[in-house]
């Protein structure tokens, strides 16, 4: 077992220390328990890292490793990571009404849709939302569903979209496929063509 997997398992084990009576952090979604789905699913992931547990989990990261040190630095600005992921062996084995309930929370003031992609051919739906407060991203929500899988990710705290990909594979966070805005550098204007040499006059 490699070090990263071991660290993730240790961090997820700390999730049991979270207090169920803890106050909900602004930007944190109320995720359903999806009772009974874990038994029906071929694979399931449930991550519940509140501020206290997230801080403890980040201590397991190796600060001498540049990648993990970068994640450790990000943890200082985050207030929680919450993930629900279920994969099934047959189509639509999960209750869509529960997912729609999460979507309704994202209609609250402050939330803005960053990405909305639907494919009728593949029957997939991906939505990414940001909670903006005073020009700063304070929470991220991702809801992605397809016939045999759905994923809900809620990352709470001061979020830098350009660094968000560093959380992929850490604490149960799946591949996010989100990049910060990158402005293309202006192309240099082509050099003017040299003027033709004057034709010598005949004497």
Residue linked to tokens 């960053």: 114
Residue linked to tokens 């990710």: 153
Per-residue pLDDT tens over the stretch 21-53: 455 788 999 998 887 888 889 999 999 988 888
Q: Could you tell me if 49 and 15 are in contact, meaning their C-beta atoms sit under 8 angstroms apart?
A: yes
pTM: 0.71
Residue linked to tokens 């991702």: 142
Residue 69's pLDDT band (cuts 50, 70, 90): confident
Per-residue pLDDT tens over the stretch 128-148: 999 998 888 899 999 998 999
Residue 202's pLDDT band (cuts 50, 70, 90): low
Q: Over 80: is that where the pLDDT of 178 sits? A: no
Q: Could you tell me if 168 and 175 are in contact, meaning their C-beta atoms sit under 8 angstroms apart?
A: yes
Render 3-32 in DSSP notation, one character per residue.
HHHHHHHHHHHHGGGS-TTSPPPTT-----
Mapping DSSP to helix (H, G, I), strand (E, B) and coil, where does residue 104 land? helix
As given in the structure block, the two tokens for residue 72 are 């450790």
As given in the structure block, the two tokens for residue 12 are 């997820």
User: For all residues of the chain together, what is the average pLDDT?
Assistant: 75
């Amino acid at each position: 077992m490699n070090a990263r997997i071991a660290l993730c398992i240790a961090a997820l084990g700390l999730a049991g220390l979270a207090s169920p009576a803890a106050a909900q952090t602004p930007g944190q979604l109320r995720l359903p328990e999806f009772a009974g789905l874990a038994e029906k699913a071929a694979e399931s992931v449930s991550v519940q890292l509140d501020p206290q547990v997230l801080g403890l989990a980040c201590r397991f990261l190796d600060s001498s490793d540049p990648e993990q040190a970068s994640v450790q630095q990000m943890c200082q600005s985050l207030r929680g990571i919450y993930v629900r992921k279920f994969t099934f062996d047959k189509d639509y084995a999960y209750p869509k009404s529960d997912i729609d309930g999460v979507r309704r929370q994202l209609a609250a003031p402050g939330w803005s849709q960053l990405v909305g992609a639907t494919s009728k051919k593949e029957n997939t739906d991906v939505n990414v939302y940001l909670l903006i407060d005073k020009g700063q991203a304070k929470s991220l929500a991702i809801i992605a569903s397809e016939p045999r899988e759905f994923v809900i990710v809620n990352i709470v705290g001061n979020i830098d979209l350009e660094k968000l990909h560093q959380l992929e594979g850490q604490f149960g966070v799946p591949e996010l496929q989100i990049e910060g805005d990158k402005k293309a550098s202006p192309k240099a204007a082509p050099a003017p063509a040299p003027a033709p040499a004057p034709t010598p006059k005949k004497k």
